[in-house]
Every structure is written in C-alpha cells, then in structure tokens.
Amino acid sequence: MIHFLHTADWQIGARFGQFGAEEAALLGEARFEAVERIAALAAQRQVQAVLVAGDVFDQQTVSDRVIRRLFGALAGFSGPWIMIPGNHDAALAESVWTRAAALGCIPPNVQVCLRPTVIELGEGAVLAAPLTQRHTLDDVTAVFDDTATPAGMIRIGLSHGCVAERLPEGIDATNPIAADRCARASLDYLALGDWHGLFRVDERTWYSGTPETDRFTNNESGMLLEVRIAAPGSTPDVTPHRISRYRWQRWEETLSVPSDVERLVARLQPLGQGDVLMLRVEGGIDLGAWRSLERAIDETAARVRALRHDLGGLRFLPTDADLAALGARGGYLANAVARLRAEQEAGDPQERAAATEALLLLARFQQELEGRQ
C-alpha cells in the first residue's frame, strides 16, 4: 500500500497585479501559509510523501528571499517531498531551481526532479516527467510507457500539462498529455498539475488544482488530494481536502429598482476577511439607491480581504425629484443636467457611461452644498 498527498500549482511569488499593493501582499502571503497547512496535514495524516506536480513558483525571477521562505515552509513535514518544475518554473539551464540549489536552501528530504526520474517510495515508484521548457508540443509523459520499475511496484506518474480534449474548451493546448496515459504506461495513478481546479480525468488521472484559490473561476480550486493505493492494479482511493484560506467569488448583478439594491446589500453583509470578491453590476437605479450601493461597497471593501467592482454597466436613472434637486439652481446647471440626461438615454456606451458619471458628480456636489448650508 502507498499513501501520499498530491498537490500542485502553488504559484509562489504570484503578484496579483489586479489588486492594490496591500491586498496583493496579503494574497501572496496566503500562498506560503497554504504550503505550511499542506505540511501540517501531511504530518497529521502520516503520509509517505507529498507529490508536487509543478508550478511551485509563479515565475523564474522570484527573489532569493521568496525561494528561502518557500523551502522553510516545508518544515512541518519531515517526510519526502517530490517536486517537478511546471511551465511557470520550467527546468531551464538557468532557472529558479538552479538558483535554489546555489543558495543551498533545498532540504535533504526534498527531491526536485529536473529530468525524467524514477523514485522508489516504499511499495511504489514515482515516475516524474518535468517540463524542461515553458511550452512544448511533445507529450513529456510518453517516457512513462518505456520506463521500467521493479516487479510488484505501484506505479505513480507525476507531470504537468494539459490532458487532450478533457479540460474545458479554450485551455492552452501546449504541454499536451494523452488522456489514456495511465493505460499506455500501466500507471496506477497519474498526479497532474496545470489546471488550477480539482478535476478528475478518470479514476486514475487527477488534477489537484491550486491549494490557495487565485482566480475568479468556479473550478473547485483551493484543494489537495490524499491518495491511497492498496496494490498494483487497485483503484486509487482519492480524498479531497480543502486547504484554501480565501474564497474567491464573482457576482454578476442586474439592478432595476431599490429593492434589488436592498437584496444585494443584504447579500454583501455576511462577507468577511476570508472573501475575495469581483462584483459587476448593470441596470439602472435612482440616486438614493446608488448612494446605498456605494455605501455598501465601501463598507464591504473594509471587511473583506479584497474587492474589485465594476459599475460600468450601471446607469444612473434619476427620479423627477432627483432631477429637480440637481437643476434646482436653474440656468446653466439645469441645462447641463438636461443635456447629460439626454446623452445617457441616446448616446453610445462610452457617452452613456460618461454622462452617468457626470450626473453622479453633480449629485455629490449638490449633496456637499446642502451639507454646508
């Protein structure tokens, strides 16, 4: 019997440029914390090894400090760690891995496979096929077909790439892996990285996904896999474990009446420090509803770990009372409000967005004037 954890796509050193500096730093820190939780789980479950299927690092140019911190985060599990490079940290002649070796920070219990390798592990043998370049049209796992292991050994493949015609449409077709590789190579299990969500190709071929969610996609990310295989030819017993600290969500909302805003505000209220939210809103609402929405977004941004919002598809549709208040001073202001209202109704998308923003600026200006009186 062999018992191990399968994980991948740690993406250590990811920068999260779509967020502010403070938010990005915290999201980056969470990736180190995820590795520490993996080490703790490995020790708790008393596994024989942790298999890491590529993209340990997000890029080749991470700092020496990041490299040292990553290997320090493994300290919670003293058993074997078996790692391979993926497309983000490919085993080039000069790479993040050669820098790590030069720094002397790779612990003795960590084996980094920079070339196709067989590692015996108790009753099993790990057949590792790393990427030695970022993109290839060759199937690096083809080497498994002719790789011999001692008789009676459980055969476990470890690689990084895209299983042909099994992942969702539009996925990069480079670094292809044959869907029937387990059958061709007599593998009992194939541990893969590259796809950032948990994905079962078949009963022997799995993607673990990234252990710390990093995208606004509904793909079962934030997991790792605990795998037991009783004997050669036995069906693997695969148990997912949630590791991710943060829950990333994408919300698409259409608002038409004040009650729509009230429902959205109520939905936002339970969110807290474990949430990362992308909010896109379209439709049309009056001034009171808009102010309620802006206040709710500001309050939510202060509670959650990170919030991105896009109100570009939302139009400001002032009521008669709103329009009267905006044009209350008459003259040029009233004429400007009328022109902006017309552009908001009849202009192209850019003009409508600009007119909406201008009307809101006028409304805020009017509110400030009222507050001073």
With contact defined as beta carbons under 8 Å apart, do 126 and 119 qualify? yes
Model confidence over 182-230: pLDDT tens digits? 999 999 999 999 999 999 999 999 999 999 999 998 889 999 999 999 9
Please check whether residues 83 and 107 belong to one and the same domain.
Answer: yes
Please check whether residues 21 and 70 belong to one and the same domain.
Answer: yes
pLDDT reported for residue 46: 98
**DSSP track, 213-282:** --SS--S--SEEEEEEE-STTPPPEEEEEE--S-EEEEEEEEE-SHHHHHHHHHHHTT--TTEEEEEEEE
Out of 196, 225, 242, a domain closes at 242
pLDDT reported for residue 30: 97
Please check whether residues 141 and 55 belong to one and the same domain.
Answer: yes
β-strand partners of 324: none
Out of 193, 225, 242, a domain closes at 242
Out of 242, 263, 295, a domain closes at 242
With contact defined as beta carbons under 8 Å apart, do 266 and 290 qualify? no
Please check whether residues 138 and 181 belong to one and the same domain.
Answer: yes
More confident residue, 111 or 369: 111
Number of structural domains found in the chain: 2
Please check whether residues 228 and 302 belong to one and the same domain.
Answer: no
What are phi and psi for residue 105, nearest 5 degrees? -105, 5
Please check whether residues 38 and 118 belong to one and the same domain.
Answer: yes
Please check whether residues 59 and 80 belong to one and the same domain.
Answer: yes
Please check whether residues 317 and 358 belong to one and the same domain.
Answer: yes
Please check whether residues 44 and 163 belong to one and the same domain.
Answer: yes
Measured CA to CA, the distance from residue 314 to residue 39 in angstroms comes to 46
Please check whether residues 316 and 214 belong to one and the same domain.
Answer: no
CA atoms 70, 74, 79, 82: torsion sign: negative
Task: Assign 3-class secondary structure to 73-123.
Answer: HHHHCCCCEEEECCCCCCCCCCCHHHHHHHHCCCCCCEEECCCCEEEEECC
- What residue numbers bound the domain in which 59 lies? 2-242
More confident residue, 166 or 180: 180
Integer CA distances (angstroms), 345 to 111, 287, 336, 354, 358, in order: 64, 16, 14, 12, 14
Average pLDDT (332-354) is: 72
Q: Which CATH number covers residue 20? A: 3.60.21.10
**Could you count the other beta carbons within 10 Å of the beta carbon of residue 98?**
14
Q: Of 271, 278, 276, 291, which Cα lies nearest the Cα of 252?
A: 278
Please check whether residues 187 and 330 belong to one and the same domain.
Answer: no
Please check whether residues 275 and 210 belong to one and the same domain.
Answer: no
The model scores a pTM over 0.85 = yes
Average pLDDT (61-83) is: 98
pLDDT reported for residue 347: 61
Measured CA to CA, the distance from residue 50 to residue 86 in angstroms comes to 16
Model confidence over 223-260: pLDDT tens digits? 999 999 999 999 999 999 999 999 999 999 999 999 99
Per the listing, tokens 């300290």 go with 75
